[in-house]
Every structure is written in structure tokens, then in C-alpha cells.
A and B are shown apart, each in its own frame.
Chain A
Amino acid sequence: MQRAVRIGLLVLVIGFLGALVIFNAINPAPVDMEVWNEQMTKGDKETAKHHFIMYTDIFCPYCDKFSDAVAANMEDFGNHYIKDNNILFEIRVTDMNYENGHSNNSRPAGQAAYCAAKQGDFWSYYYALLSKIYKDYHSRGIGVDRNSEKIPTLDMDYFYDIADDLESIDRDTLVKCMEDKETIAELDNNTKKAASKVNGGVPRFVFDKYVADGFLGNWNTDNDYGQVKLLMDAGLASK
């Protein structure tokens, strides 16, 4: 009897894993190559030969490792990948962590990112926000993985204060945009669209036909950029 239960349990687990592998193999998430928000792209949309998409949530630590590494090596990333290989790089910001009940901060961060895009400088705001989150939390081991201390629910000023250091973003316009929820429909719509394309998780990287989920990094931007390069080269090598 005991033996039958053990064998049954083993078959169940192996069957579950097998189903997982088969499901992943026969159910690739649909790819949507239309740009969602022009401001959230780098590269020339008209002439680009490749399209590299990153589905992200600003409070997803693995997404942030990727973006921090790119920000620290922007010259090489911009020249070697975007320019030389004619890539259109697009970030699709979602608030999946809010929708899944993992972070209340994802929603205002997502809204703020789209508000910054409305003011025409998504990238400066995005990298400034990531840099602040790294300095305040990730560098101290907070919010970095499943077992670490969670980042507390942040005050809205956390998102507004970033505008004070950026010439391109007007604080009052940002506050109004957030208070009037001007970008919430776009955020919700994009999160909904993303949910059907990422098998539930971010970061998901879609480079033409090549797809990768997750990012093995350690917050060392040199090390993590090595992983970024592997990802980019895998995308370029995909047929």
C-alpha cells in the first residue's frame, strides 16, 4: 500500500513536470510586434531589422537587474546593438506585480512611467526611478528575491521627487497626470495584453522569434551586462 502511494506520488510529480515541458513546447506565447508606446522604444522603428521587446514591471527585481546593467553600459548597448545591428528596443511596462498581489508599488510606478512617456522622456524617468529603487532597497537586499524583506508601500512623493532631478519632467504635470489617473487605462490595457503573452511572468524577452523568461544576475552591472549580451546575441542568432 505504502509502496503504491509512493509510486503514485512519483508518477504524479514526473507527470506534472512532463506536462510542463510539453505545454511550454507546444504553447509559445503569441508574439505582438506592433509598438505599444513609441516613447518606450530606442532605435529607428522605420528601418529596424530586429525588434527586441522586454515585458517588465518596475518592481520586478530580475527585470531591474537587466535594465540597470543596460543603463550602466548604455554606450555599448546603444552602439553595438541598437545602432550596428539596427535593433528596435521596446520596453512594455506593466503592473503585473500589483495585479498578482505582490507589490502595491507596481501600480503607481507603472502609472508614473506612462506619465513620463506623455511628457516625452520615459527613459530618463525610468532609469532614474530604477536607480533610486536600487539605492534605497535592492542594494540593501530588500525586495531582491522571493525570501527577502518586501519593499514597503511607498508614498506618492517617492515617484514625484524623481522629477525634481530631471529637467525634462515637470513635477506638477507629473502629479496632475497621476492624480487624474491619465495613464491608468493605458497601463491596465497593456498589463492585460501582456498577461496573455508572457505565460504569467516578467521579465519576458522577445527578440524576433527568440524568447527567454527570467534573468540570472547579481546586481553587479558588469556581470549582468555579460548576461544581457548573451541574450542579445542569442536573439541576433535566432532564425
Chain B
Amino acid sequence: MAIRKIIETISDRSKFALVSIAYLFKQPKYLLIFLFSFVFFSYFLTFFRDGSSNWQLVWSGLGIDRKFELLGRVFPAMLENFSSFYGVTIIFLSLLQAVIVAQLVFAWKHREKGQQIHGASTGGVGALLGFVALGCPSCGIGLLTPLLTAIAGASAVALADTIGQIFSILAFILLIFSIIRLGYINYIIISSKNYKEEHAKSR
């Protein structure tokens, strides 16, 4: 019974969240914030997609022109994400993160004085988990692997694979949860705003 109620609540809040997201995206300012955030997160995750070699190249002795070349090479790699399932998960992760940023900006701008925004920290945890889960676990190359191997030895590479997959799933769950939560808050803000506007007109 309790589970049914939870499912119903989630389902209702998801609908409200979708309505508020649609409202947000009709406004060019928030659509731009979303698009900018999407490109930013997509770039960032693609940069670290196949290990930390790009990061190591940025801090190497390469000349500034070569470093710009390196940073520029990530853009075509972003487009190639569409050609593999792993790449699509990166795009999807970036999309979710970008939606949260647009939602947060809206909620932050329209919140009551001193009001807390629930869902922001959950989104942050989701984004971080999505980041550390990146890499090629079948090669042991990942952002998690070095620390795990330090704790549990070389055998931890297999562990990094499992933990990476769990972190990926957790990241998606937390990000979606955060979107629903922020979307619901924004729905209340929008409804209240509309009510106030209509009330002001009818006076």
C-alpha cells in the first residue's frame, strides 16, 4: 500500500516536473542556460571519457598552441558520442545535468527569501558519481581505478568495473530524482506566480 502511494506521488510529481520543464524551455533565457550547460557538461565528460590522458596532456610541457589543439579535438569527439551506447550515456548524463542547472537557476531566482532549494545537493551527488564512473573499465582505465588499486591492489580493477557500473546507475537515478524534485518546486513557483498575476489582473 505504502509502495503504491510512493509510486503515485512520484508519478504525479513527474507530471508536474514535466510541465515546469516545458514552461522553462519556452523561455529563451532558460533554454540558453540549458544549451550552454549541456555543451559544457558534454565537453567535460567527453574530455575524461577515455581516461585521464587529456588532463595529463593539458599539464604537460606542450606549447600553448598544441594545448588549444588538444582542447579543440574534444569537440568532434563530442559528436562521435552519438555513435556508441557508451557515448549516448554520456550525452544523456549531460542532458540531465543541464536540465538541473536550468531548473536550479529558475528556482534560485524565484525562491522566497531564505528558502532552501531541495534537490540541488542530490543533483550534485548524481553529477559527481556520473563523472567518477567514466573510463574504460575493461582496460582498467578509469577515474576510480587508481584509488581502488591503492586500497585493494591490482585485483581492484575488476572491482572498479562493478563500482563504475553501480555509480553510473546511481548517477542516473539521483539526477532523475533531483529533476523531479526541482521540477515540482518550480511547478509550485510557476503556479503561485500565475495565481498572483491573475489575482492582480482581476483587482
Contact = CB atoms under 8 A, between A and B. Distances in A.
Nearest to A14: B128
Contact of B132 (A17, A211, A213, A214): A17
Given A61-B138, A147-B84, A202-B140, A234 B157 contact: no
B135 A23 contact: no
B140 A200 contact: yes
A147 B89 contact: yes
A213 B158 contact: no
B54 interface: yes
Given A148-B84, A230-B70, A203 B124 contact: no
A200 B51 contact: no
Contact of A200 (B60, B66, B89, B156): B156
Nearest to B46: A216
B132 A200 contact: no
A195 B53 contact: no
B193 to A, nearest CB: 26
A57 B139 contact: yes
A20 interface: yes
Interface string B39-53: 000000001011111
B8 interface: no
B69 A230 contact: yes
A9 interface: yes
Among B53, B74, B139, B160, residue most surrounded by chain A Cβ atoms (within 10 Å)? B139
Contacts of A19: 147
Contacts of A231: 53, 57
Contact of A97 (B61, B70, B138, B146): B138
A156 interface: no
Interface size class of chain A, counting residues whose CB lies under 8 Å from the partner chain: 35 or more
B14 interface: no
B44 to A, nearest CB: 13
Interface in A86-101: 96-97, 99-101
Interface string B127-162: 011001001111111111111111000111110110
Nearest to B140: A201
Given A13-B128, A61-B138, A201-B142, A234 B51 contact: no
A226 interface: yes
B62 interface: yes
Interface string A134-152: 0000000100111110000
Most buried by B among A61, A100, A201, A215: A201
A201 B145 contact: yes
A192 to B, nearest CB: 8
A30 to B, nearest CB: 14
A153 interface: no
A218 interface: yes
A6 B70 contact: no
Given A200-B146, A205-B53, A239-B61, A102 B86 contact: no
Given A61-B136, A146-B136, A214 B53 contact: yes
A107 B89 CA distance: 30
Contact of B157 (A100, A148, A214): A100
Interface in B30-82: 47, 49-54, 56-57, 60-63, 66, 69-70, 73-74, 76-77, 80
Contacts of B141: 62, 201-203, 213-214
Contacts of B53: 205, 212-216, 231
Interface string B152-180: 00111110110010000000000000000
Contacts of B157: 96, 100, 200-201
B18 interface: no
A213 B62 contact: no
Interface in A4-58: 6-7, 9-10, 13-14, 16-17, 19-20, 23-24, 27, 57
Contacts of A226: 69, 73
A200 B145 contact: yes
A199 B53 CA distance: 13
